[in-house]
Structure 1
Amino acid sequence: MDEKTSRFDLEDRLLDYVANIVRLAESIRRSPAGTHVANQMLRSGTAVLPNHGEAQAAESNADFIHKLSICLKELRETRRWLRLIQRVPLIPKPDIVLPLLAETEELIRIFFSSLKTARKKGTK
């Protein structure tokens, strides 16, 4: 798989991820806590898609690293909101969060690895 195909696969994967975040936010019961958590998760969980796009258009390696760092930060925040949604629970069937949590973990690993590689390239 070439770099161009790999990049678009990740973009599609992020689009699916963000769509699932939106669907989950829509399913959270509307209470003061539910609304707050849904809004926070929606903000952090959807931020990864546009920031990944910004990384693809980075003007330098430092800019690329910065944008990927934002993606990683937002994914880590989203993981915490997902765990809270499941723990409270804020949805009728908290187990439906498990696949989204698993995808969040995988995306965290992908972005962490990409950052590690980008940082190595920046020091050469």
Structure 2
Amino acid sequence: MKESILKNKSYDFAIMVVKIYKTISYKHKEFTLSRQLLKSGTSIGANIREAEFAQSNKDFINKMSIALKETNETDYWLSLLKDTSYLDLDNHLKLTSYNNELIKMLVSTINTMKSKTN
């Protein structure tokens, strides 16, 4: 059940990231930083989806750990875009809050799975 909620939240987050990317790239004509956000922000859900068909518990943990790394990278790009005035404070807070939820859920999922495999 938890993974299903995580899958849905990561997909919703990816949609938000795509919309922000479109806004930043069209409005500000900024393509490099926003593209990095697009890559990391959409990769979270892609890795969670890959984990659904993991070949083992170790593979599942690995895929979820990659998704967790992507959330950390996404946090970096969100902060950089805010601090360079490409991303307004409201959108930054909304996206960062959502990203932090994903971090907490991924950490919980990884820790739970690790405890089951030990």
- TM-score normalised according to structure 1 size: 0.86
Aligned-pair Cα RMSD in Å: 1.2
Separation (CA, whole Å) in 2 of partners of 1:118 and 1:13: 19
Q: Which runs of 5+ in 1 are unaligned?
A: none
Q: How does 1:28-47 map to 2 (within 5 A)?
A: 28=24, 29-30=28-29, 34-47=30-43
Corresponding residue number in structure 2 for 1:54: 50
- Spell out, residue by residue over 1:57-81, the C-alpha distance to the aligned partner (whole angstroms, 9 max, x if none): 1110100010000000000000110
Figure out how many residues of one structure are paired with residues of the other and give that number: 115
Which position in structure 2 is the counterpart of 1:122?
Answer: 117
> How far apart, in 2, do the equivalents of 1:83 and 1:15 lie?
21
Is residue 9–residue 102 contact of structure 2 (8 Å, CA) maintained in 1?
A: no
The counterpart of 1:20, out of the listed 10, 13, 16, is 16
Structure 2, unpaired ranges of 5+: none
Task: Give the AA of the match of 2:22.
Answer: E
2:59 aligned with 1:63? yes
Letter in 2 for 1:19: I
Residue 97 of structure 2 aligns to which amino acid in structure 1? Answer: A
- Contact 1:55/1:68 (CA < 8 Å) preserved in 2? yes
What's the TM-score once normalised by structure 2's chain length?
0.91
Question: Is the 1:56–1:64 Cα contact (8 Å) retained in structure 2?
Answer: yes
Quote the residue 1:112 is aligned against: 107
8 A Cα contact 1:86 1:95, kept in partner = no
Deviation at 1:94, TM superposition (A): 3.2
Q: Secondary structure at the match of 1:72?
A: helix
1:12-69 deviations in whole A, cap 9, x for unaligned? 2211100000011111121xxx311111110100001111011111110100010000
Q: Structure 2 CA distance, aligned partners of 1:71 and 1:96?
A: 22
Q: Is the 8 A contact 1:65 1:115 kept in 2?
A: yes
- Aligned positions of 1:76-115 closer than 5 A: 76-91=72-87, 93-115=88-110
Displacement of 1:10 after TM fit?
Answer: 2.5
- What SS does the aligned partner of 1:89 have? coil
